[in-house]
């Protein structure tokens, strides 16, 4: 899968268009920080992921949330051949890779496990991507719990992105 390239006919999607709720926006942001940490080797990126999630969800749930997203990004690094494109954490646009990741997370949250396995394999560019499938399945419940927790907190207070 090639990342989206912005042009007049194919602009990059906005976060609000691709993410169905605040939990998916947070998941994308955390994934971006984790990916940046891998790319730069700077632990401050991972600290930023934890700080943001813990501020919104508390230390226990925030830590679990980040751990789930680390599992997904790590699985992508292991099973995806080639480069992976992520935008900076605060960017309001998504790459094609990020759109596919958000869609994959959404399938996991809906419990569409067969679709998760198929899309994880497609995303990784392989016949099967068992680590990515397992990581999405493992993170789905935590992301759903965050959605419940974030929904009341964000009503009337704006959105995360």
At 17-27, the pLDDT tens digits run 999 999 999 99
Which structural domain range is residue 63 located in? 17-153
Specify if 9 maps to a domain. Answer: no
Specify if 4 maps to a domain. Answer: no
Specify if 67 maps to a domain. Answer: yes
**pLDDT of the residue at 158:** 45
Least confident of 8-12, 51-55, 135-139: 8-12
**pLDDT of the residue at 114:** 96
Specify if 5 maps to a domain. Answer: no
Specify if 58 maps to a domain. Answer: yes
Percent of the chain with pLDDT over 90: 80
Rounded Cα–Cα distance for residues 88 and 133 (Å): 25
**pLDDT of the residue at 60:** 95
> What pLDDT band is residue 10 in, cutting at 50, 70 and 90?
low
Count of all residues that appear for the chain in the document: 161
Q: How many Å is the maximal CA-CA distance in the chain?
A: 45
Residue 6 pLDDT > 90, yes or no? no
Specify if 138 maps to a domain. Answer: yes
Q: What is the pLDDT of residues 63-122, one digit of tens each?
A: 999 999 999 999 999 999 888 889 998 899 999 999 999 999 999 999 999 999 999 999
Specify if 53 maps to a domain. Answer: yes
**HEC-encoded secondary structure of 88-148:** CCCCCECCHHHHHHHHHHHHHHCCCHHHHHHHHHHHHCCCCCHHHHHHHHHHHHHHHHHHH
Q: Which is it for the CA torsion 10, 16, 20, 22, positive or negative?
A: positive
Q: What is the pLDDT of residues 133-155, one digit of tens each?
A: 999 999 999 999 999 999 865 54
Specify if 103 maps to a domain. Answer: yes
Residue 32 pLDDT > 50, yes or no? yes
Rounded Cα–Cα distance for residues 52 and 22 (Å): 13
Rounded CA Rg of the chain? 15
- The pTM (predicted TM-score) of the whole model is 0.86
Tally of domains within the chain: 1
Least confident of 4-18, 34-48, 95-109: 4-18
């Amino acid at each position: 899968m090639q990342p989206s390239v912005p042009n007049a006919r194919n602009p990059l999607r906005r976060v609000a268009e691709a993410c169905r709720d605040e939990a998916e926006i947070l998941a994308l942001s955390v994934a971006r920080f984790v990916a940046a940490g891998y790319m730069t080797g700077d632990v401050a990126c991972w600290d930023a992921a934890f700080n943001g999630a813990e501020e919104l969800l508390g230390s226990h749930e925030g830590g679990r949330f980040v751990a789930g997203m680390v599992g997904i990004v790590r699985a992508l690094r292991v099973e995806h051949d080639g480069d992976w494109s992520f935008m900076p954490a605060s960017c309001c646009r998504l790459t094609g890779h990020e759109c596919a990741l958000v869609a994959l997370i959404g399938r996991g949250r809906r419990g569409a496990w067969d679709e998760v396995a198929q899309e994880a394999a497609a995303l990784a560019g392989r016949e099967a991507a068992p680590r990515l499938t397992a990581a999405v399945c493992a993170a789905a419940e935590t992301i759903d719990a965050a959605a419940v927790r974030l929904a009341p907190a964000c009503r009337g207070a704006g959105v995360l992105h």
